[in-house]
């Protein structure tokens, strides 16, 4: 995993968009974003370390998604576009990367929207990332065009995005998220 500020250049979303400004794990933690590195052993499906975190955090269900042209078929382009729309969920988003790589972008909240910045998080095999409910984020593949991830859920598997807008800005889960994070500078 590597985190840095997104450069906001209007080019292919799958490119690194590396501003050269690194983001620390402490900054991610202040945003409620959690990270673990849990290597995948040869022939192992999901390591016991992932199971231990799932048990500790109350994740009862899981599935595996293969985000690639082969895995999504005719839905590939539509799904890639929808994943990259800025949105939030009313549940945590938990992903354990089994293979491939991609980018999760999380919105660093600021008092004024024009001060907000995207933080790009490169996730690769063995990375486990938890995005808190209410955080604005998006996802895209990198130029390898494939990622295989275990999705963990506290209840029944669901993925309901709430795209950013005035109604989502006042969603109770968004409000709870904003009250939970500590104010951090907009470096």
Reading the block at residue 167, the tokens are: 């109604």
Ranking 52-56, 60-64, 137-141, 181-185 by mean pLDDT, the lowest is: 181-185
Is residue 109 very low, low, confident or very high in pLDDT (cuts 50, 70, 90)? confident
Position 62 in a domain? yes
Judged against a pLDDT cut of 80, whether residue 44 lies above it is answered with no
Positions at the binding site for Ni(2+): 87, 89, 93, 137
- Taking phi over 0 as left and psi of -120 to 50 as alpha, with beta for the rest, 8 belongs to left
Range of the domain at 127: 2-180
- Residue range 85-98: mean pLDDT, rounded: 96
DSSP letters along 125-169, please? TTEEEEEPTT--EEEEE-TT--EEEEEEESSS-----EESSHHHH
Position 107 in a domain? yes
Position 150 in a domain? yes
Handedness of CA 18, 21, 25, 28 (dihedral sign): negative
Reading the block at residue 20, the tokens are: 């050269």
Q: What local confidence, expressed as pLDDT, does residue 142 receive?
A: 97
Position 130 in a domain? yes
Positions at the binding site: 87, 89, 93, 137
Residue for token pair 């807008």: 165
Assign residue 66 the CATH number of its domain: 2.60.120.10
Judged against a pLDDT cut of 60, whether residue 184 lies above it is answered with no
Positions at the binding site for Fe(2+): 87, 89, 93, 137
Q: What local confidence, expressed as pLDDT, does residue 167 receive?
A: 96
Based on the structure, what is the number of domains in the chain? 1
Position 185 in a domain? no
Judged against a pLDDT cut of 70, whether residue 186 lies above it is answered with no
- Residue range 86-95: mean pLDDT, rounded: 96
Position 87 in a domain? yes
Judged against a pLDDT cut of 80, whether residue 157 lies above it is answered with no
Q: What is the pTM of this model?
A: 0.93
d(CA 145, CA 120): 17
Position 187 in a domain? no
- Residue range 170-174: mean pLDDT, rounded: 96
Reading the block at residue 87, the tokens are: 């949105």
Write down the mean pLDDT value for the chain: 93
């Amino acid at each position: 995993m590597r985190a840095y500020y997104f450069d906001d250049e209007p080019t292919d979303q799958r490119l690194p968009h590396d501003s050269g400004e690194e983001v620390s794990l402490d900054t991610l933690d202040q945003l409620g974003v959690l990270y673990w590195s849990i290597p995948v052993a040869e022939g192992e499906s999901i390591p016991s370390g992932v199971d231990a975190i799932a048990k500790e955090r109350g994740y009862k269900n899981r599935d595996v998604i293969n985000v690639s042209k082969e895995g999504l078929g005719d839905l590939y382009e539509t799904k890639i576009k929808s994943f990259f729309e800025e949105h939030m969920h009313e549940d945590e988003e938990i992903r354990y990367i089994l293979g491939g790589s991609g980018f999760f972008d999380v919105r660093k909240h600021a008092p004024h929207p024009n001060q907000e910045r995207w933080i790009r998080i490169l996730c690769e095999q063995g990375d486990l990332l938890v995005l808190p409910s209410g955080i604005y984020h998006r996802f895209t593949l990198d130029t390898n065009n494939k990622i295989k991830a275990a999705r963990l859920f506290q209840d029944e598997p669901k993925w309901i995005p709430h795209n950013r807008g005035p109604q989502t800005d006042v969603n109770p889960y968004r409000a709870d998220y904003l009250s939970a994070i500590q104010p951090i500078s907009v470096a």
